[in-house]
């Protein structure tokens, strides 16, 4: 249905999209997931013909977006990041105008617009000026514009950004219902959103596809490792030094603790390794008491952070596109490893650590294995 081959977009020196390859099949809901700046909007703007690619090819239902733009665009309804609304029009005026642009036959327009307004629940607002609408209603009007004419493919760039929780749930339900008849691609930097709504997830980081699979399969990947979270009393230097003596540790993140004089660490190990005893004795030996320790399997959210902050790690997670990983990224992975030794501040990029990641964090937890629940707390 949509084929993206070797897509590259450069803004001057900046590589915003870096050799993306993927295929979108009919009748599914796809999610582009990635931190801010990952290249989601750029990719969507290219697929929809709003922006020219530097290299690569996009085909929509067999129509090349550059060679047959009109045919290709006819298949797509698009809600860009900033909806293209005319503030001085009423909702109805705007939708009539959009329907005309989309060449919906005149005799069908009125009935169709009525149906769409009812679908996105804006009928009561039809005579209001768009500039007087709340953000949530404006987003719905943008959505109505995208759905007009029922195009087979609907592309939505961060459709729930800036909405309140009730509006978010409504829009998500609407997207799910659209998914029954249409192919939908939506982008989001919120993991819970994508895993709640999408049949298929494509994780994008630094313009590259780092993983793509069903939410379930992505969760299964997380079963390959264990996480230990601990609050340890002592200086960061001492804690770093001792942790570096424990060989089984694959990755460590440090954070300032809320407990006075403590360092919070999140340690990743292979699934069959339990380092808690060794951690206890080593820290006791160094007179660094552990005030809190908790062990769990990794959540989908942890995997997302790991993939997007350290794309080289994606090798094992990648299920679809062999070309997505390069030597460059393997280097990045090695660079990531050295963080274990340096004990510098946690390596979570600002965007990925955004607070929006946390409110719904609980939803992501991979079904807690008996182990993590029974023995986790000490």
Q: Is 206 in the site for Mg ion (CB under 5 A)?
A: no
- Cβ neighbour number for residue 336 with a 10 Å cutoff: 17
Residue closer to ligand ADP by CB (options 9, 112) is 9
State the binding partner of 233 from ligand ADP, Mg ion, none, CB within 5 to 8 A by kind. Answer: none
Measured CA to CA, the distance from residue 209 to residue 272 in angstroms comes to 29
State the binding partner of 37 from ligand ADP, Mg ion, none, CB within 5 to 8 A by kind. Answer: ligand ADP
Closest distance between Mg ion and the C-beta of residue 186, in Å? 11
Residue closer to ligand ADP by CB (options 36, 177) is 36
Q: Please give the full DSSP string across 205-265, using - where no structure is assigned.
A: ETTEEEEEE-HHHHHHHGGGEEEEEEEEES-HHHHHHHHTT-TTEEEEEEEE-SSTTEEEE
- What is the sign, positive or negative, of the torsion defined by CA atoms of 323, 328, 334, 339? negative
**Residue whose entry in the numeric block shows the structure tokens 């993140």:** 253
Q: Is 311 in the site for ligand ADP (CB under 6 A)?
A: no
Return the residues of window 79-118 that contact Mg ion according to CB under 5 A: 81
Residue closer to ligand ADP by CB (options 16, 58) is 16
Q: Which stretch binds ligand ADP (CB under 6 A): 8-16, 159-167, 234-242, 369-377?
A: 8-16
Closest distance between ligand ADP and the C-beta of residue 12, in Å? 7
Measured CA to CA, the distance from residue 307 to residue 251 in angstroms comes to 13
Q: Which of 6, 23, 36, 334 touches ligand ADP (CB under 6 A)?
A: 36
Measured CA to CA, the distance from residue 196 to residue 185 in angstroms comes to 14
Closest distance between ligand ADP and the C-beta of residue 312, in Å? 19
Q: Which residue, 186, 120, 122, is CA-closest to 153?
A: 186
19: tokens are 């050799």
Q: Please give the full DSSP string across 35-94, using - where no structure is assigned.
A: -TTSSHHHHHHHHTTSS--SEEEEEETTEETTTSHHHHHHTEEEE-SS----TTSBHHHH
Q: Which stretch binds ligand ADP (CB under 6 A): 30-38, 145-153, 241-249, 301-309?
A: 30-38
Return the residues of window 37-96 that contact ligand ADP according to CB under 6 A: 37-42
Q: Is 159 in the site for ligand ADP (CB under 6 A)?
A: no
State the binding partner of 68 from Mg ion, ligand ADP, none, CB within 5 to 8 A by kind. Answer: none
Q: Which of 4, 16, 53, 221 touches ligand ADP (CB under 6 A)?
A: 16
**Residue whose entry in the numeric block shows the structure tokens 């001492």:** 238
Non-local CB neighbours of 363 within 8 Å, separated by 6+ positions: 192, 195, 196
Residue closer to Mg ion by CB (options 98, 156) is 156
Q: Which of 18, 41, 195, 299 touches Mg ion (CB under 5 A)?
A: 41
Measured CA to CA, the distance from residue 148 to residue 109 in angstroms comes to 9
Residue closer to ligand ADP by CB (options 34, 215) is 34
Residue closer to Mg ion by CB (options 42, 257) is 42
Q: Applying CB under 6 A, which residues contact ligand ADP?
A: 11, 14, 16, 34, 36-42
Q: Applying CB under 5 A, which residues contact Mg ion?
A: 40-41, 81
């Amino acid at each position: 249905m949509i084929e993206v081959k070797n897509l590259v977009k450069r803004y001057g020196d900046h590589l915003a999209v870096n050799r993306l390859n993927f295929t979108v099949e009919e009748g599914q809901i796809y999610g582009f997931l990635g931190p801010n700046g990952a290249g989601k909007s750029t990719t969507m703007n290219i697929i929809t013909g709003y922006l020219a690619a530097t290299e690569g090819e996009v085909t929509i239902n067999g129509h090349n977006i550059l060679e047959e733009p009109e045919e290709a665009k006819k298949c797509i309804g698009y809600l860009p990041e900033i909806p293209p609304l005319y503030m001085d029009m009423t909702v109805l005026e705007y939708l009539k105008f959009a329907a005309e642009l989309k060449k919906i036959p005149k005799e069908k327009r009125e009935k169709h617009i009525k149906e769409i307004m009812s679908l996105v629940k804006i009928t009561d607002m039809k005579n209001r000026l768009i500039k007087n609408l709340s953000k949530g209603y404006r987003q719905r009007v943008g959505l109505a514009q995208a759905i007009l004419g029922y195009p087979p493919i609907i592309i939505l760039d961060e459709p729930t950004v800036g909405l309140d929780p009730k509006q978010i749930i409504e829009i998500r339900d609407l997207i799910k219902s659209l998914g029954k008849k249409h192919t939908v691609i939506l982008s989001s930097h919120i993991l819970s959103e994508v895993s709640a709504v999408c049949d298929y997830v494509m994780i994008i980081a630094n313009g590259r596809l780092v993983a793509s699979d069903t939410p379930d399969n992505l969760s299964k990947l997380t079963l390959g490792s264990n996480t230990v979270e601990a609050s340890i009393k002592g200086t960061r230097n001492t804690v770093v030094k001792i942790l570096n003596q424990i060989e089984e540790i694959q990755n460590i993140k440090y954070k300032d603790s809320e407990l006075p004089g403590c360092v919070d660490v999140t340690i990743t190990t292979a699934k069959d390794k339990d380092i808690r005893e060794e951690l206890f004795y080593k820290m006791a030996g160094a007179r660094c008491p552990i005030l809190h320790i908790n062990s769990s399997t990794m959540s989908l959210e942890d995997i997302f952070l790991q993939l997007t902050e350290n794309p080289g790690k994606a090798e094992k997670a990648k299920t679809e596109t062999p070309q997505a990983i390069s030597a460059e990224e393997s280097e990045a992975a090695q660079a990531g490893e050295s963080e274990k030794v340096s004990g510098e501040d946690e390596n979570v990029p600002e965007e990925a650590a955004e607070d929006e990641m946390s409110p719904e964090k609980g939803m992501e937890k991979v079904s807690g294995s008996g182990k993590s629940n029974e023995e986790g707390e000490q």
